[in-house]
Amino acid sequence: MTAAPAPTLAEEIVLLSLDDETGRPVGRLGMAPDLALAGALIMDLALAGRVDTDRDRLWVVDSTPTWDKVADRILAALDTPGAPGDARGALVLLAREVPAAREALLDRLVASGVLRREEGRVLWVFPDRRHPKGSGREMAEDARARLRRLLLAEEIPEPRDALLLGLVRASGLLPLLFSSDELLRIQDWLELVTRIESLNRSLGAAVAEVRAARSRPH
């Protein structure tokens, strides 16, 4: 029997951003989930060797289509003539792609049995779509256990888990994984390990800049 493929960073962020029981979004509201998912999609391309970054730049190194239709759409957007060459610009560019990417990821996770889709109405009028976890509950529990172990035991994470930690922080999901006392205890180690990966540093700074710019009064 062939083992199921490991989830992508984008899929793990989608799973962690849904309540296990209700299937409704958890974590920060507003633009944070979109920025975190955009960051996850870029990070997946970086792990696949399709994009690279340094402190100031982000560029496509291989535009060959991947195995993943969602990733290919993001790669094509980043490889368009005139596309931004920095992390902040890339996040702003991808903001328009994120809703469709999230729906495609949800469809894929539903089709594979990782999530279920439930449709209903609120007050008999407003559509209410939820995505409770099927086998995705085990995937989410595994991700939570990994991240808790890495931070509470002060382990050096693999690059992928260092990136996931940065995304979880950007999504506002840490309070769902740790108690308030634990959060105080892990702050220094969290800051250290999420700066191990240059992509975490560049995207973390870019997320902060985009959020600040959009919150300023016009």
In a domain, 204, yes or no: yes
In a domain, 105, yes or no: yes
* 18 CB-near residues (< 8 Å, 6+ apart): 24, 25, 26, 115, 131, 132, 133, 136, 140
In total, how many domains does the chain have? Answer: 1
In a domain, 165, yes or no: yes
In a domain, 2, yes or no: no
In a domain, 216, yes or no: no
In a domain, 166, yes or no: yes
Tell me how far apart the alpha carbons of residues 166 and 172 are, in angstroms, rounded to a whole number.
10
**C-alpha dist (Å) from residue 159 to 56, 166, 185, 197:** 20, 11, 22, 7
Q: How many CA atoms lie within 13 A of 181 on its CB side?
A: 0
As a dihedral over the C-alpha atoms of residue 66, residue 68, residue 49, residue 156, rounded to 10 degrees, the angle is: -160
**CA-atom Rg of the chain in angstroms:** 17
Its domain, for residue 183, covers 9-211
Which pLDDT tens digits describe the chain residue by residue (218 residues)? Answer: 345 578 899 999 999 999 988 888 888 777 778 888 998 999 899 888 999 887 778 899 999 988 889 999 999 999 999 998 888 888 888 888 899 999 999 999 999 999 999 876 655 566 678 899 988 889 999 999 999 999 999 988 888 898 899 889 888 889 999 999 999 999 999 888 887 776 776 776 666 666 666 566 65
What's the predicted TM-score (pTM) here? 0.85
CATH of the domain at 205: 1.10.3630.10
In a domain, 3, yes or no: no
Exposed/middle/buried for residue 19 (C-beta within 10 Å: 0-12, 13-18, 19+): middle
In a domain, 217, yes or no: no
